[in-house]
Amino acid sequence: MRVMLAACSALIGFATLAAAQPSGAPRSLQTPPRPAAVPKPVAVGALPAGSAATLIQHGHLHTVGGLGTLNDGDVLIEGSRITQVGAHLTAPDGAKTINAEGRPVTPGLMSSWTQLGIDEVDLVAETNDTTPNQAIDSAAFDIADAINPDSVAIPVARIAGVTRSLTAPPACSEVFCGTGAVIHLGNGPDLLIKRQAGVVVDLEPAGGAKQSKSRPDIWAKFRETLQDAREYWSQREGYHRPGGARDQRSTRIDLDALGPVIRGEEPLIVRAERASTIRQIVQFAGANRLKLILVGGGEAWRVARDLAQAQVPVVIDPNLNLPSSFSDLGATLQNAARLDAAGVTVVLQPRSNNPAHDAGTIAQMAGNAVANGMRWDHALAAITRNAAQAWGIADTYGTLEPGKDADVVIWNGDPLNVTSAPTAVFVRGERMPLVSRQTKLRERYRDLKRKTPPFGYR
């Protein structure tokens, strides 16, 4: 997380909110609504689930896969999958066709390390499931238990082209922050694609306020917990018998959650900023055969060679160029391009104060990486294929290739430019309406002069 919340938008350290007062009975209406004047609904219902085939024709296809870029290419979607990609495909009987008219077509974008689905309104506690409520670290804190498929932040991200998310706890400065999951942003109710997609660990002391832990504290705790997990798993059956194990710092459920991590099956998502911390965790992960994904990475470019050699994917916000703390004095706009040039798998991700709601700015991040020296196709890969690889879902998502889930976006212009937007979004074969709570609010207030119906009836 960027350490400092915007000073005015949301103050640091919120106190307990006063209990909400129940509102009284609704006031009687002065002007009854006139049914005739009620505008037609803007929303279009979701189309039936991948029922018919859809052929997208004449797209400027950025497959991000083996087929590269096709200037005039077609994508055939059948059911939830892409079944063919190529030039001049034949539409099967009954298939819908969409003429992309040369517009760019890309895989759906993937947001990496956001709180999409677990954070409706950041400062409204009952809607915020991002961090353990007790001030303890916990690997067992599993956000898969909290995914809300009805979150209004999901359609907002989706109509900006985002179709997947690695939803995980934010950096918590408590060492172990919890377990993330991969979700899709299509129709619910079940959005989960992959549980236990990684355990978030924060190795940087909290910035901005009083330092609660210093680096040796953090490392001691980090090592001890992993050692405990190993010991626990080596004798798990006997663990609960009297004398079965020495006292452990962590609870049984935390040690359970760390099983796949110590076996190198589930990644540790480690937030580190300072070059020395990054070097240290890369060595540690190598020595202990842990699967590592680096997030934060303010100074990652200074450790680019080590990261490339150890094949550690790095999730960074390419726009962070300020010494926001003493841990990222080397933050620079060149970070993405330098890591990419060194052969690191770069994943781009906005790291705003408000990641669930800003998830749709991911294409802008990639555009900025390009503006600062990253190759355009690499930047697109950094928000699609590279994310798929990092989060272990590359077999089903990340490119426009036969056999992949049909997460497909048609754009009205350069997908990475801020003036562009999707004209069609498919998630796992379903075409999603370009509607969100925001578009509904917009229509309610589109015409302030119109007298009827009153605003409350629009």
Partner 1 sequence: MERKLPLWGAAAIVAFVLLLAWAIIPALHPMPKDEAVADQFPNDQFPSTYKPLPSRPVVIRGATILTGTDKELAKASILLQDGKIAAIGAKVPEPPGTVVINGRGKFVTPGIIDIHSHLGVYPSPSNEATQDGNEAVRPVTAEVRSENSVWPQDPGFTRALAGGVTAMQILPGSANLIGGRSVVLKNVPSRTTQGMKFPDAPYDLKMACGENPKRVYGEKGGPQTQMGDVAGYRAAFEKALEYRDKWRRYWKSKSGDKPDRDIGLETLALVLDKKIPVQMHCYRADQMATMIDVAKEFGFRIAAFHHAVEAYKVADLLRRNGVCGVMWADWWGFKMEAYDGIPENIAMVDHAGACAMIHSDDPIGIQRLNQEVAKAMAAGRRMGYRITRAHAVAWMTRNPAYALGILKQTGTLEKGKMADVVMWDTDPLSVYAHAEKVFIDGALIYDRDNSRLSPRTDFEAGQEGNGGSGGAGQ
Site for partner 1 in 106-165 (CB under 8 A): 120-124, 152-153, 156
Residue 287 or 448 having the CB closest to partner 1: 448
Residues in region 384-413 near partner 1 by CB under 8 A:
none
Count of residues that interact with partner 1, criterion CB under 8 A: 71
H/E stretch holding 387 reads: helix 385-390
Nearest distance, CB of residue 264 and partner 1, angstroms: 31
Residues in region 248-287 near partner 1 by CB under 8 A:
275
Considering only 57, 131, 179, 361, the residue that binds partner 1 (CB under 8 A) is 361
Report d(CA 169, CA 129) in Å as an integer: 8
Q: Cα–Cα–Cα angle for 161, 165, 171, nearest 5°? A: 130
Interface with partner 1 includes 313 (CB under 8 A)?
A: no
Nearest distance, CB of residue 99 and partner 1, angstroms: 20
CB burial of 257-273 (b: ≥16 within 10 Å; e: otherwise) equals bbbbbbeeebbbbbbbb
Residue 49 or 121 having the CB closest to partner 1: 121
Q: Residue with structure tokens 């841990």?
A: 327
How many CA atoms does the CB half-sphere of 275 hold within 13 Å? 12
Nearest partner of 200 among 145, 250, 257, judged by Cα: 257
Residues in region 166-185 near partner 1 by CB under 8 A:
none
Interface with partner 1 includes 69 (CB under 8 A)?
A: no
Interface with partner 1 includes 194 (CB under 8 A)?
A: no
Nearest distance, CB of residue 335 and partner 1, angstroms: 10
Report d(CA 108, CA 402) in Å as an integer: 15
Residue 241 or 449 having the CB closest to partner 1: 449
Residue 132 or 330 having the CB closest to partner 1: 330
Residues in region 200-239 near partner 1 by CB under 8 A:
207-210
Beta-sheet strands, E only, within 100-205? 104-107, 109-114, 162-167, 175-184, 192-202
Residue 214 DSSP class: -
Considering only 76, 82, 316, 320, the residue that binds partner 1 (CB under 8 A) is 320
Residue 228 or 358 having the CB closest to partner 1: 358
Considering only 3, 197, 218, 346, the residue that binds partner 1 (CB under 8 A) is 3
Residue 17 or 287 having the CB closest to partner 1: 17
Distances in Å between the Cα of 196 and the Cα atoms of 167, 330, 452 are 11, 32, 52
The phi and psi torsions of 159 (rounded to 5 degrees) equal -75, -5
Residue 121 or 253 having the CB closest to partner 1: 121
Interface with partner 1 includes 41 (CB under 8 A)?
A: no
DSSP track, 308-334: HHTT--EEE-TT--S--STT-TT--TT
Residue 152 or 310 having the CB closest to partner 1: 152
Nearest distance, CB of residue 185 and partner 1, angstroms: 16
Interface with partner 1 includes 49 (CB under 8 A)?
A: no
Residue 65 or 298 having the CB closest to partner 1: 298
Considering only 223, 249, 305, 442, the residue that binds partner 1 (CB under 8 A) is 442
Pairing mode, strands 81-86 and 96-99: unpaired
Residue 161 DSSP class: T
Determine the interface stretch with partner 1 among 133-141, 162-170, 340-348, 354-362 (rule: CB under 8 A): 354-362
In sequence order, the 6+-apart residues with CB closer than 8 A to the CB of 377 are 62, 64, 69
Considering only 111, 364, 396, 399, the residue that binds partner 1 (CB under 8 A) is 364
Nearest distance, CB of residue 456 and partner 1, angstroms: 12
Interface with partner 1 includes 14 (CB under 8 A)?
A: yes
Interface with partner 1 includes 23 (CB under 8 A)?
A: no
Burial class (CB in 10 A: 0-12, 13-18, 19+), 402: middle
Is residue 112 within 8 A of residue 389, CB to CB? The reply is: no
Considering only 43, 136, 326, 456, the residue that binds partner 1 (CB under 8 A) is 326
The phi and psi torsions of 389 (rounded to 5 degrees) equal -65, -45
173: left (phi over 0), alpha (psi -120 to 50) or beta: left
Interface with partner 1 includes 371 (CB under 8 A)?
A: yes
CA 22 to chain centre: 35
Interface with partner 1 includes 445 (CB under 8 A)?
A: yes
Report d(CA 60, CA 72) in Å as an integer: 5
Determine the interface stretch with partner 1 among 37-45, 57-65, 278-286, 363-371 (rule: CB under 8 A): 363-371
Interface with partner 1 includes 25 (CB under 8 A)?
A: no
